[in-house]
Chain A
Amino acid sequence: MSGGARLENANPLIFQRTGERLQTANDEDEDVADPIDDREIFDLIRSINDPEHPLSFEELNVVEQVRVRVDDQENTVGVEFTPTIPHCSMATLIGLSIKVKLLRSLPERFKIDVHITPGTHASEDTVNKQLADKERVAAALENSQLLEVVNQCLISNARTG
């Protein structure tokens, strides 16, 4: 049990960003549209819980803001995540929970692409293929047991976030 996990990596940017955003909302109220940006997507996924540790993806450095790509005009979202260790057996589950979270939280117009950061996992291609396959994702979510586990990851983030 000797630290397979990274130390929590509190992101100093969080606080500032939140403040900034509130101000936009107050200042320009109804008229200005805020585009969906990297930060917003990151906010959605950073507090998902790791299936193994009582820590969030952000704390484990599984997701980073720089690895989130959004194009509001083109309706695409791309997220890269980094498993904590190259042989992490949970990689698929992690990817699935990110995907589910985004599916539930983003407008339907977006195409969501979740994959592993290149070169950080042993069976990168397999996992990526699984995650990109719409039908496999849908099938996985039919499995009530799996859905339960995914929900478990997502649930606690509602509390903290």
Chain B
Amino acid sequence: MAADSALLLGLVEEFVLGQQDRKAVDTATGKLKAGQFTILQLVEALGLHLTSSQPQTRGRGVQLLSNVLQECYGDLTEREVKVLIVFYENRLKDHYVITPHVIQGLKALTKCSVLPPGSAVSILKSLFQDIHVQSLMLAERSCVYNILIQLMESRESELKGLGADFVFGFVQSVDGERDPRNLLLAFHIARKIVHEGYDLGKFTEELFEVTSCYFPIDFSPPANDPHGITQEELVLALRVVLTGTPRFAEFLLPLIIEKLDSDVQSAKLDSLQTLTACASVYEHKDLAQFLPGLWASLRREVFQTASERVESAGLAAVGTLTACLSRSVLNSDSEDSLNVFLELVLKDCQHHLCEPDLKLVWPSAKLLQATSTASYRASHRVAAAVLPSLIEQYNSRTQCAQRRTLLEVLQGFVHPVTSSEEDESVLLDFRQSLCSIVFSALSESNADLQITSMRLLTALGQQTGLLLESDVELAVDHLTRLILEEGDPKVSLAVVECAGALARLHPAAFISKMVPRLKEEIFSGGLRSKAVRQRCVAALAAVSSRPSLVQESTPVLLQVLTSAHTGTGAFSLEEVISVCHSLQKIAEQAQDTEETGGVFHDVIPRLLGLALQAALQGSSGHCSPILEETVLSAMVPIISTTCARLQSRLAGQTASLAVSLFLDGDVSFLPENAFPTQIQLLKVSQSQMVCLLMGCVCWLPRTVEVPQMDRLLLELEELSCTCDHPLSYTSAAKCYAGLVNKSPAGEVLDSLIDRTLKRISTELDSASSPVRTQAFTLLLWVSKALLLRYHPLSTALTDKLFSLLSDPELGWLAADGFSLLMSDSPDVLNRGSHADVRIMYRQRFFTENSAKLVEGFNAAVQEKKSGYLKALSHIVNNLPRQVQLTELPALLPLLLEALSCPDQGVQVSTLSCLQPVLLDPPSALITQLEVLVGRTLALTTSPTMKVRIASLRCIHALSRFPEHEIMPFRARVLRALAAPLDDHKRVVRSEAAVARNEW
């Protein structure tokens, strides 16, 4: 014990004399925690120093004690704490050099869980009384704020007992704070005061003053700010304080009005957002007195705005203000402030709506719309005031541009009111006249008018009760007429959109009116032009979203295919293809129900049947359009989209039917059963139908098992390796790959792949083999299938691909193959087809193989190098940007090399890969700027247009490099860009103009 106290005395001595710092504190803390001595003994040991006549010595003494306390405040007993607090409070009155340490000690003590009752109040009292916070240093001020926060959290009720004195003390200590870090703390305290119901007493205004003097916050953090405080943080922290209580209203609102006059954009924006925030808290009586002032400022902001952000913030503020006013419960003696406000708005905006030529129509309309969206009452009021005059004007004006503007304004008013769910629509009173306007506009000949009126019609249709049954029918008639008569592509697009939207809500009218009419038109023979039929088909596709409509429309489209096949309808090839696209679109948008599933389940056999008939006839002379490759390729997505969405029962059925058709020639499920019984679809003559098989089996959900898998795979492999018809062997390879991708991992799969790989290798290795291309195609697709699912064997296959890059015959194809490997293919092996696609397979492939590629490039002879460059640029092009940026420094020399490669394909691909990177240049690029500028400028005179365009885009991107870097090149670039300005292709010229203007 004696030894301990001697040690302690020694420690204290050393610390106070300044010989030791951290170590003394650590030792003391350690011993104290270990229970070797108590805090009391420490104080006793310090005794002499704490009472020394030298302030410095006293300071060191207190510092040691405070430092120790900071470490072990948790171990103190209540009595100890009480004594220490009294001591520290006393020390606050001491010499100023001691104060920082005292505050540190107090902060440690406030963290004690055993803080005796009443001490919180006394600490604060002495703090507020004895020190002037703002004359302290930064760290000590922060300490004081932390003490406040700590006490507010642990001793809330005691502090509230202090009443307004607490607020006053806070106000005094914060007044004049400048450091953003401390301000965040101060705002935090203020927020607590405001939100947790501390008594503000008569100090409301003071509290407001002391915080609002920072509004609006203008803070730009120093460049290398280690604290990471943003303006945004400060703004939000302050906003929460200011908008916290309605009691600030009388001070805040004038301040906002004043700050809205500011020229600084951010100040305006902040004021508007603060106004929006407070309007959602305040009540009408807080606002009432300031309404005219607020409105004047808001109106000015929206009417004369220079930036969209200010405008939309202003509109939002108007909206919340209105909503706030609408919430108010009226007393009998107060006037309705909502009415007052709306009066103001209407007075200033309404008359602008009567001048549809002038600029202010739009801001006025937007303001009115913002108020009317805010509440039901407001919308009632505004609609009643505005709509009649708009409608009347529409009817009296004759110029199309004016009428169109009026329609657009009307549409704006129709939209927002959707928010009032239960109340009957405000627009009900104007239903009749609105409808008649729409229909009269629809029958105008002006395209813009038609388009706008269709938008309005759609908006009306979205609301219940605004379109009666008869109106819908009339609308459908109009739409049908427009489809048949209007050739303007913009109008047709709008018709299709509008019809699609309405058909979802009112299918019946479309079934009874539109579908039969369109059908009639489609089959009416050659009287109408092709374009009309095309539009009919597109419209049919657009309206088919409800099962009932799908049931009506798909037979029509299928019938087109049939009659095209038999040659009765005189449908051209493009029409057949567009019909296929429409069917695909229907399959995509149809709601996923049992019913539609059933409809499409029947579509597949019919398509297969048609294709088969065509194929069989094809061999006997008559040539049906269905036989064309383009048509078949267009049929594939119909089948695949359908299959991907089939429920599992139907899916299983479809799979087994399709497989038995292709393997065994089982035609029994096809309609119009008139096929020869023994047909072999996977044999040469009808082989191109295999793409339909691919669409079917490769897109089924993974849970559905494909029957006779082994046999199917075997046949597909055979076909893909022997057939000499490109579509057939490619489809077979794709189909094979799609199945391999989904089949379960295991030995069966491994041996299968082994077998295939062997076969491919044999074919590829014999230079004279006639089917090398076929073998390569199969290799490529299987590699992709395995790569996507991270199969361990995929490396073997991709290595094979790499080795092919130097192949004299296939090298070029192989290089292009890498783009296929890295990109998503639309018809198979993608997520839509339920394929097994792991995330980030591209990155993985890249990291595993980029080294090989570079090696191969370096080893290759000069003529072969371009193949590697091409492969590289394909791979890099498909990588996500993040990876591109990190990998770029290593690859840059190669890519720059690629720019000077004579192959134009490589040039385009490299440029298009560089361009996005240039938009956000990494530092590695800047060091290479000289070469980069030189090479790209050289390419601007390339004979190929695409290269010229791509290089000009790169140069455009280069202009965003740091000013000092590009300055030396400016004159050179400008001179060089003068040449493409006179290019003979307009597209090139416009790119050059854009780039040159930037430079």
Contacts and interface: CB of A to CB of B under 8 A. Distances in A.
Contact of A25 (B448, B987, B996): B987
Interface in A1-52: 1-3, 5-9, 12, 15, 21-22, 24-25, 29-30, 32-34, 36, 40, 43-44
Nearest to B959: A158
B997 A101 contact: yes
B355 A3 contact: yes
Interface in A135-161: 154, 158, 161
A106 interface: yes
Contacts of B989: 36, 40
Interface in B979-999: 981-982, 984-987, 989-990, 993-994, 996-998
Contact of A54 (B307, B361, B401): B307
B641 to A, nearest CB: 28
B894 interface: no
A34 B305 CA distance: 41
A34 B985 contact: yes
Given A6-B357, A25-B987, A40-B986, A104 B997 contact: yes
A119 interface: no
A7 B356 contact: yes
B943 interface: yes
B984 A7 contact: no
A6 B358 contact: yes
B302 to A, nearest CB: 11
A46 to B, nearest CB: 13
Contacts of B359: 3, 5-8, 53, 55
B982 A109 contact: yes
B943 A30 contact: yes
A105 to B, nearest CB: 4
B984 A34 contact: yes
B401 A9 contact: yes
A24 B306 CA distance: 39
Nearest to A101: B997
Interface residues of B, number: 34
Contacts of B401: 7, 9
Contacts of A30: 943-945, 985
A25 B986 contact: yes
B42 interface: no
A157 B675 CA distance: 64
A108 interface: yes
B99 to A, nearest CB: 53
A3 B360 contact: yes
B943 A107 contact: no
Contacts, number: 77
A5 B355 CA distance: 12
B405 interface: yes
Given A54-B305, A107-B978, A7 B448 contact: no
Interface in B345-396: 355-361
A24 B985 CA distance: 9
Nearest to A109: B982
Contact of A104 (B303, B355, B982, B996): B996
Contact of B306 (A7, A44, A54, A108): A54
Contacts of B987: 21-22, 25
Contacts of B303: 1
Contact of A105 (B307, B355, B943, B993): B993
Given A7-B405, A12-B447, A105-B993, A21 B358 contact: no
B328 interface: no
B26 to A, nearest CB: 60
B994 A2 contact: no
Contacts of B447: 12
Nearest to B980: A107
Given A7-B405, A21-B987, A33-B984, A44 B978 contact: no
Contacts of A53: 359
A15 B305 contact: no
A40 B993 CA distance: 11
B998 A158 contact: yes
Interface residues of A, number: 36
B993 A44 contact: yes
Contacts of B945: 25, 29-30
B847 interface: no
Interface string B431-463: 000000000000000011000000000000000
Contact of B990 (A43, A54, A101, A104): A43
Interface string A101-123: 10011111100000000000000
Interface string B918-959: 000000000000000000000000011100000000000000
Given A15-B490, A30-B943, A104-B993, A3 B305 contact: no
B444 to A, nearest CB: 14
A6 B361 CA distance: 11
Nearest to A15: B490
Interface string A64-105: 000000000000000000000000000000000000010011
Nearest to B999: A104
A5 B944 contact: no
B304 interface: yes
A132 to B, nearest CB: 23
A21 to B, nearest CB: 6
A9 B401 CA distance: 8
A9 B490 CA distance: 18
B940 to A, nearest CB: 14
For B401, B987, B997, B998, the residue with the greatest tally of chain A CB atoms inside 10 Å of its CB is: B997
A43 B994 CA distance: 11
Given A1-B304, A36-B989, A105 B997 contact: yes
A41 B292 CA distance: 48
Nearest to A154: B997
B306 A158 contact: no
Contacts of B448: 12
Interface in B191-233: none
A108 B533 CA distance: 50
Interface in B480-496: 490
A33 B448 CA distance: 34
Contact of A2 (B357, B360, B984, B986): B360
B298 to A, nearest CB: 14
A26 B537 CA distance: 27
Interface in B408-435: none
Contacts of B305: 54
Contacts of A24: 986
A104 to B, nearest CB: 5
Contacts of A34: 984-986
B261 to A, nearest CB: 15
B478 to A, nearest CB: 21
Given A3-B355, A7-B358, A34-B986, 12 more contacts: A1-B304, A1-B360, A8-B359, A15-B490, A30-B943, A32-B984, A33-B985, A36-B986, A40-B986, A43-B990, A101-B997, A108-B978
Interface of B: 303-307, 355-361, 401, 405, 447-448, 490, 943-945, 978, 981-982, 984-987, 989-990, 993-994, 996-998
17 contacts: A1-B360, A2-B358, A3-B355, A5-B359, A6-B358, A21-B987, A25-B986, A34-B985, A40-B986, A40-B989, A43-B990, A44-B993, A104-B996, A104-B997, A105-B996, A105-B997, A158-B997
